Amino acid sequence: MTDLDTRKDEALSAIAAASDLAQLDEQRVAALGKKGWVSLELKSLGTMSPDERQQAAPAIQAVRAEIADAIAAKKASLEAAALESQLASETIDLTLPAPETPRGSIHPVSQVMDELAEIFADLGFAVATGPEIEDDWHNFTALNMDESHPARAMHDTFYFPDAAPDGGPASSSEAVGQTGRMLLRTHTSPVQIRSMMQQGAPVRLIAPGRVYRSDSDATHTPMFHQVEGLVIDRDIHLGHLKWTLETFFRAFFEREDIVLRLRPSYFPFTEPSVEVDVGYSNEGGRRVVGGHGDEEGHDWMELGGSGMVNPRVLEFAGVDPGEWQGFAFGLGIDRIAMLKYGMNDLRAFFDGDPRWLRHYGFSPFDQPTLSAGVGVRP
Ligand code: DAH
């Protein structure tokens, strides 16, 4: 055996004995690396005479090829074994139950506000907003509720500390350029004033939002939600009001048999004023809207107030009552939400109990649209 053969056999058995890729690479470097013995043998060919070289070269080339093949084969088998053992150790148990991902839900009040905006948008109404911290001029005076109006009393309205209702002008409210004493708005009606002062006439808007009163029992919470409506143009009359509310309630409750009754009433900001009642029946202890309130088994339920905007209110808001007229309405959002979705305690709306929210909440993916239906059921 030549010296070359001996070294080759040693190298091949070392390659065969390599138990991982790192050991195999050591063998590759030792033989075929830049300073590996096979490489040095190949290099030595350069120092030989052409005859010597012709004799020696084929044997060295053959050894180099044989070792390279052996390394490649061993590498493949080590890699296959590594994959094999990885597969064996990394099995995934697909029978484990997946952990639950908590998902929020849309509060019924938000859902109903979205439904309102969708239905009224279809009737050409814009959505307006106003501040919840309001001054008494926008909340009362400009709505034709003068200093002696009972709603202005402390026990009905939340005033800010420096603003006793019978005190002098409040310093902080003057500093922010507001008119009069600061309070938490008691209704969404001041948005009528702000919108008319800002944009003049004509107007066609709704203004949903939070309102505050010093009140608390099963049907009253200190904070609740209203939606205001205002339509001002040249020839608007009570007939438009009735049609608008009927059209809205039919779309909202998804029933054609909605019957409204306009009952004469009084509000300082409308003249004439009406209260809006809807016919309903009792089905299994639940109030279901629909039908004429005077029919057998039916009754009327009040949903809100409305009327023709008092000319004095238009004047306060800088709109000429000789040229413009229109109607306004105010509805309780929480109440119509309770009616539509069958809830019975208003206080639960604002307790933030996750169980209630899970039960009555809406999927964030159920956006109300007129085409797909505004009446998603929880
Ligand atoms: N602002 C009234 C309230 O909160 C509701 C209301 C009644 C609003 C008649 C109106 C209206 O716009 O015309 O009790």
DSSP class of residue 358 equals H
pLDDT bin (cut points 50, 70, 90) of residue 166 is low
Is the beta carbon of 330 within 6 A of some atom in ligand 1?
A: yes
User: Comparing C-alpha atoms, which of 70, 46, 64, 81 is closest to residue 4?
Assistant: 64
Tell me: the pLDDT tens digits for 288-345?
Answer: 999 999 999 999 999 999 999 999 999 999 999 999 999 999 999 999 999 998 888 8
Asked whether the predicted pLDDT for residue 154 surpasses 90, the reply is no
Average pLDDT over residues 221-249: 96
Give the nearest ligand 1 atom to 226 CA: 4
Tell me: the pLDDT tens digits for 250-264?
Answer: 999 999 999 999 999
Least confident stretch, 143-147, 177-181, 294-298: 177-181
pLDDT of residue 164: 47
Pocket perturbation via mutation, ligand 1, pick of 187, 192, 232 by most ligand atoms within 8 A of CB: 187
Q: Are 176 and 126 in contact (CB under 8 A)?
A: no
Q: pTM for this one?
A: 0.70
Burial of 68 (0-12, 13-18, 19+ CB in 10 A): middle
- Alpha-carbon distance 65 to 58, whole Å? 10
Average pLDDT over residues 5-13: 91
Torsion-angle region of 300 (φ positive above 0: left; ψ -120 to 50: alpha; else: beta) = beta
Higher pLDDT, 5 or 249: 249
| 377 Cα to the center of ligand 1, angstroms | 29
User: Could you tell me what percent of the chain has a pLDDT over 90?
Assistant: 64
Q: Are 10 and 30 in contact (CB under 8 A)?
A: no
Tell me: the pLDDT tens digits for 186-207?
Answer: 999 999 999 999 999 999 999 9
pLDDT bin (cut points 50, 70, 90) of residue 155 is confident
Average pLDDT over residues 160-182: 56
**Average pLDDT of the chain to the nearest whole number:** 89
Tell me: the pLDDT tens digits for 31-45?
Answer: 999 999 999 988 998
pLDDT of residue 30: 92
pLDDT bin (cut points 50, 70, 90) of residue 67 is very high
User: Comparing C-alpha atoms, which of 341, 281, 271 is closest to residue 312?
Assistant: 271
| 305 Cα to the center of ligand 1, angstroms | 5
User: Could you tell me what percent of the chain has a pLDDT over 70?
Assistant: 93
Is the beta carbon of 328 within 6 A of some atom in ligand 1?
A: yes
pLDDT of residue 2: 80
pLDDT of residue 372: 66
Is the beta carbon of 189 within 6 A of some atom in ligand 1?
A: yes
Q: Are strands 298-309 and 260-267 parallel, antiparallel or unpaired?
A: unpaired
Average pLDDT over residues 168-185: 61
Take residue 79 and report the two structure tokens written for it. Answer: 């890699």
Asked whether the predicted pLDDT for residue 98 surpasses 90, the reply is no
| 306 Cα to the center of ligand 1, angstroms | 6
Go through the chain and tell me how many residues it has.
378
HEC secondary structure over 114-142:
HHHHHHHHHCCCEECCCCCEEEHHHHCHH
- Alpha-carbon distance 203 to 322, whole Å? 16
pLDDT of residue 376: 57
User: Comparing C-alpha atoms, which of 186, 324, 308 is closest to residue 242?
Assistant: 308
pLDDT bin (cut points 50, 70, 90) of residue 375 is low
pLDDT bin (cut points 50, 70, 90) of residue 1 is low
Asked whether the predicted pLDDT for residue 96 surpasses 50, the reply is yes
Q: Are 121 and 208 in contact (CB under 8 A)?
A: no
